[in-house]
Structure 1
């Protein structure tokens, strides 16, 4: 009995603790629930409103609906941007971009949408915290504009600022060679320019903004020090075009092509391309029609004759000991070059290329002198080591064409003409002869070339001449006159008789002249 009496107070104490805890928890739950309901109610009241402290271009939109905010912004900023300008500076040039020309339009709807969504992606308590916060959030009013117009402005500025560097070059005076120093160029960093302009074209209501875009200095590819080694002529070659059948048009093509190459500087290790240097042969660039090979025929083609320039250059360059990296012979022999020593070019197909294998630059001078295409190659005379070079053709094998004869009954007998001119073909090997102080020290095979045979077609006339009438004797002639007089007296009858006489007497045939 005494043991049970001692245990009861302890149990009562535990019960009191449990009950007290339950009461506290109940009060906490009730309080938290009440707080949550209060917070939820407050957050819900801002559900369709822009949160406190949210502004657009410093205009307070706190508590406004999207519709109300759009009205406020439109009323505040309508026409406010029209007179604004952005000044862009680059080096010593500047350009004013007028907002009015950009067809500006505020993106009120898009900006309000962004302001409205601010803070609404968090949870209930973060939203409540933001609503109760006194912090500010300012959005720039978004601006739509004509981006193509921006590109036009950028092109205007780059055309004013950008300047190509000038390479150092050579001048020739009474046999002496002088180096003329080059000039640095400059170029706008177009990527940075575009980024800066677009970052500063915005809805801010500042009347004008000035920005400066970076301009980079561009050094010339060839400077004075690079040309210091060039001290004399190391090779020269020329070909004549005095016998051209169409001199006016062909001469124009030769001058354009030669002028395009004149002044070329090739640094050590650099490769020259004829097609890249001369460019496409088009009428827009001034090229004329001239004779050129098309398959196994000679036809008028735009730029005809430029192969004489490539051939002359080939001979001058290889005469300086510089071999080709690409070179092609003609399909048929060329009048201005022996077989095996020519170089043909075709835009987009066949090129003439070579690489400067010396440790000094070479300078190519090209010009027309009288009726000659001339190329002079300048370099370092000491660097040649007393060597000279000559291209020769050996083992020339001629291949005779066949000629097919076609009889033509419509061509007078004795006349003949070629429907297709026969052209002999050739096989030949070219060699580069190297001489040291005038003595041959090396002979190197350069190429084995083939020129196609073109068989001819000869048209021969077989048409016989008309027979020559037999002359009348005087007695026969008198008898014929009497017969005509007795044939009738009326003018009409006489006229008819005369007509019969004229139509019945054949004209005397003249034998055709032989073909020239």
Structure 2
């Protein structure tokens, strides 16, 4: 073997040894990569495949939206209150219990049944409530803001109001003659879903406002009218005692009438009258 051939032979043997060393160092990674690729290919081949886009029936989104009761707004109403008042906490608790309630076709909604008792162990705190012609502090005060906001949403939606009573004194948070006082368990606000679809109640609140929206299939268009205040009664002055006393400025009493007209396809179906008598609210000084 000549000198040149021996030199090439030695280089060849050195390259072979280097290649074997390199292979022994990296072969686990190469095998791992091959196994991983094999698993990916198998997963792709055996996975259930979606049909071609052209073969999938696409629903009419507009039809779905308008046939689903929860997607069609019937009415909405907002009332406001002062930030930081004790009753704000009670309003929020009742609003959360009311939010999302669904009333089936033909069913009657009861505010007291849905919201439940207003007690300390349920988180309610003392706040002013109306007792006769006075304001006093009691557990759950302010709940009537929730029931009265719901009342006005129901009024606007044209739903069947079965049981509702206004407060004995006028409150500036609500439209004259359009409110629903509640007191658990006796004094309740009830209305019936007289439509062919379910009605969903949606409640939103901030630190100074409460909004109730109803979603479903509206049956009637609504027109309303409110009379002027009449038979006004002057207020007097009183002195209150104890921790439950709430100082108030005086407000006169009055009477008022509200009419609601229900229309179907432009034709008058029914005309309803709601009469309210508000007692005068005395100017109270607490001592």
Give the shorter-chain TM-score range. 0.5 to 0.7
1:253-308 Cα deviation digits (max 9, x unpaired): 11111111111111111111001110110010001111111222112111111101
Q: Does 1:423 align with 2:260?
A: no
**C-alpha distance in 1 between matches for 2:110 and 2:238:** 45
The corresponding residue for 2:77 is: 237
Q: Normalization by structure 2: what TM-score?
A: 0.67
**C-alpha distance in 2 between matches for 1:364 and 1:259:** 11
Choose from 158, 162, 181 the match for 1:321. Answer: 158
List aligned pairs for 1:387-466, cutoff 5 A. Answer: 387-403=220-236, 421-434=249-262, 441=268, 444-455=271-282
Q: How far has the Cα of 1:455 moved from its partner?
A: 5.0
Q: Normalization by structure 1: what TM-score?
A: 0.38
Q: How far has the Cα of 1:395 moved from its partner?
A: 3.7
**C-alpha distance in 2 between matches for 1:360 and 1:457:** 48
List aligned pairs for 1:91-490, cutoff 5 A. Answer: 228-241=68-81, 243=82, 247-380=84-217, 384=219, 387-403=220-236, 421-434=249-262, 441=268, 444-455=271-282
Structure 1 contact 363–379 (Cα < 8 Å) conserved: yes
**C-alpha distance in 2 between matches for 1:430 and 1:267:** 28
The alignment partner of 2:86 has SS state of: helix
Count matched residues: 219
Q: How far has the Cα of 1:323 moved from its partner?
A: 2.5
Q: Relative contact order: is structure 1 or structure 2 higher (C-alpha 8 Å, sep ≥ 6)?
A: 2
The corresponding residue for 2:12 is: none
The list of structure 1 runs, each at least 4 consecutive aligned residues, that deviate by more than 6 angstroms after superposition, is: 175-179
* Unmatched tracts of structure 2, length 5 or more: 1-60, 240-246
Structure 1 contact 429–449 (Cα < 8 Å) conserved: yes
Q: How far has the Cα of 1:399 moved from its partner?
A: 1.7
* TM-align CA RMSD: 3.2
Structure 1 contact 315–391 (Cα < 8 Å) conserved: no
* Unmatched tracts of structure 1, length 5 or more: 1-174, 180-226, 407-418, 459-516
**In terms of Rg, which structure is larger?**
1
